[in-house]
Amino acid sequence: MQVSQLWRYPVKSFGGEQLQSAAIESDGLRGDHMWAVIDAETGTVASAKKVRAWSRLLECRARLLDDADPSDPSVLEITLPDGRCTRGDDPRTPGLLSELTGRALTLEARPRTYDEAPLHLLTTAAVEALGTGDTAGVALRRFRPNLVVSTGDTGFVEDDWLGRRVEAGSVALVPTQRTARCVMVTLPHQEVPARRDMLRTVTDRNRVPNRAGGKPAPCIGIYADVASDGVLAVGDSLIVR
């Protein structure tokens, strides 16, 4: 098995950027989930899964021009759905995001927060097991992984990695739970079209407990904690102990 893709999502609920190598730190991939769009009225983080208007954020894309200091607004580049680019230090950026969603929004660097764990892994075997008919690139991106692992196995192979040690490059990870899916997998983002049937497809193919003692849920992919930080690169071999 080997690492075939690496993805970073600098802004929560935005599309991300594909990398050739990445520093994996104790709290995740460097620069990942560093920024959040904030509802100006309530102070809550705008999540595409919570408010319909915020699903427009998925149509935006973010990348870091430099990751020496990912919290520096001048290195955050945002591409809007119409192709216009802006940066985190541009005073017009909050207004552009507010105009897009119809809600008053701000953009802030915050301590990194994740749904469940710092890293999200997905195997090509699991995506192929869904049999959705999507092209490989679209199928993988729909689930927004950090690490894509190519494997010659078949089925939802990463389901068996929980609690084991996963090593690649100079990094060691410990998978903690399966990734339970929600409406996010049905929504469009960048080149990924909407698929209203996707959550039902995952439910039909892999409805299992996402953690020990949990209730069955539609799952694909796994979350992992960082046991040993280091550097990962596309092409690195991956070993499950």
3-state SS class at 36? strand
| Alpha carbon distances (Å) from 183 to 23, 41, 127, 218, 230 | 30, 25, 17, 11, 33
pLDDT digits (tens, 9 = 90+) for 119-173: 999 999 999 999 888 888 898 999 999 999 999 899 999 999 999 999 999 999 9
**Sign (positive or negative) of CA dihedral 185, 187, 192, 196:** positive
Regarding pTM above 0.85, the answer is yes
User: What is the distance between the alpha carbons of residues 41 and 44, in angstroms, rounded to a whole number?
Assistant: 8
Q: Nearest Cα to 123, choosing from 211, 221, 240?
A: 221
The class (CATH top level) of 2-8+115-240 is: mainly beta
The tens place of each residue's pLDDT in the chain, 241 residues long, gives 999 999 999 999 999 999 999 999 999 999 999 999 999 989 989 887 777 778 889 999 999 999 999 999 999 999 999 999 999 999 999 999 999 999 999 999 988 877 789 999 999 999 999 988 888 889 899 999 999 999 989 999 999 999 999 999 999 999 999 999 998 999 988 889 999 999 999 999 999 999 888 899 999 999 999 999 999 999 999 999 9
Alpha-carbon span 51 to 40, nearest angstrom: 14
Q: Which residues, 6 or more positions from 162, have their beta carbon under 8 angstroms from its beta carbon?
A: 175, 176, 177, 178, 222
Q: What are the domain boundaries of the chain? A: 2-8+115-240, 30-109
